[in-house]
Amino acid sequence: MSDGEHALVDTKGKFVQVVSDGRKRNDIEWLPGRILLSNKRLVLATNDGKRTIPLSKVSSVTASQMNQPLAQVDSYIKVQAGRNVTLISAKKADEFQEKLYSTLLDQTVVLINHPAVKGGVVQDGGWEKGRLKLDGDCINLAIASGTFVELDIDDVGTVESKEKTIRGDERPLLEVEHTIEGTSVETHISGTPRHVSLIEGLVRQGEQRNIADDVDLTDKETQVLMALYSGISPFKIPDFVDMEIEEVEDVYDRLMEADILEPVRTRREVQLEARGRSIASDAMADQ
């Protein structure tokens, strides 16, 4: 390896190039081989040779759980570098993905607006510079003003991607919904198109895990969800929605069975799961 280069992951797996120089390939075949990741490049090696992908060329990484039975692949990540796209299924999948994202994103400087929305209410904060660091399934954002934001990927409810004028320039923007101390918030992140694309691939994994299926809720269940989403304490819900304590407790039980709420400490203290926040957000939008 060259000076300053060091190995991060050395594992086996399968891989296939599905887009070459901007054109989809029809003759795709998953190849078994060795997958080597350093802090500068990704090497895919077979008995017939090797292919090197410089990390500086990687513009997006997305994960998929789609089963590929013919290739005996349960999951893979899609890596785009320039006009080429490669699917990679590593045996040490979690370690490989974590190291790849960390190498691509650690210490990246981005623009952050936090909290841009809190409890469904738009806040007055502005954009600040912040530095990003990954710690397992958590994105840590150290903002210049001294605020520290811990964004747990498993806690991500919804993600919106758009373009917006920020500090006088048209920039890509991610609106990421998650929780801080049980309250739904949105953290908005902007930066270069490459950095935003890489971050989006990461946070959308949480969104996909917690996507809200169609759920039939009663009016009372919807009222409780919206109250919790707005930041009302679980202990104050009966008075807020004008329901008896026992009735609210029954609602809690049904929503916990549906993986929409989770208990925190006592029976009557609950907080919304990411799936529940997604349902509550949709319900509030319909009001």
pLDDT band, very low/low/confident/very high, at 271 (cuts 50, 70, 90): confident
Supply the mean pLDDT for the chain: 88
CA separation for the pair 252, 62 (Å, rounded) = 35
Instruction: Mark whether 206 and 230 lie in a shared domain.
Output: no
Per residue in 234-245, pLDDT tens?
Answer: 888 999 999 999
**Is 269 a member of any domain?**
yes
**Is 62 a member of any domain?**
yes
Instruction: Mark whether 111 and 164 lie in a shared domain.
Output: yes
pLDDT band, very low/low/confident/very high, at 87 (cuts 50, 70, 90): very high
pLDDT at position 267 over 60: no
pLDDT band, very low/low/confident/very high, at 98 (cuts 50, 70, 90): very high
Instruction: Mark whether 174 and 87 lie in a shared domain.
Output: no
What range does the domain containing 51 cover?
A: 7-95
CA separation for the pair 256, 174 (Å, rounded) = 30
Q: Is the dihedral of CA 79, 82, 85, 90 positive or negative?
A: negative
Residue 40 tokens, joined: 């500068």
Instruction: Mark whether 192 and 178 lie in a shared domain.
Output: yes
pLDDT band, very low/low/confident/very high, at 182 (cuts 50, 70, 90): confident
CA separation for the pair 216, 221 (Å, rounded) = 10
**Is 286 a member of any domain?**
no
Instruction: Mark whether 194 and 177 lie in a shared domain.
Output: yes
Residue 203 tokens, joined: 């946070």
Of the candidates 67, 95, 123, which is a domain's last residue? 95
What pLDDT score does 207 carry? Answer: 80
**Is 287 a member of any domain?**
no
Residue entry with tokens 């919106």: 160
Instruction: Mark whether 276 and 234 lie in a shared domain.
Output: yes
What pLDDT score does 125 carry? Answer: 86
- Split into its structural domains, the chain has a count of 3
Most confident segment among 60-74, 116-130, 246-260: 116-130
pLDDT at position 96 over 80: yes
Q: Does residue 57 sit in helix, strand or coil?
A: helix
Distance of CA 83 to the CA centre of its chain: 24
pLDDT at position 257 over 70: yes
pLDDT at position 264 over 90: no
Helices (H) and strands (E) in the chain, counts: 6, 18
Of the candidates 65, 95, 125, which is a domain's last residue? 95
Per residue in 144-159, pLDDT tens?
Answer: 999 999 999 989 988 9
Per residue in 221-236, pLDDT tens?
Answer: 989 988 887 778 888 8
Closest-CA residue to 204 (of 64, 58, 56) = 64
**In 127-273, where does DSSP find H-type helix?**
193-209, 219-229, 237-241, 245-257
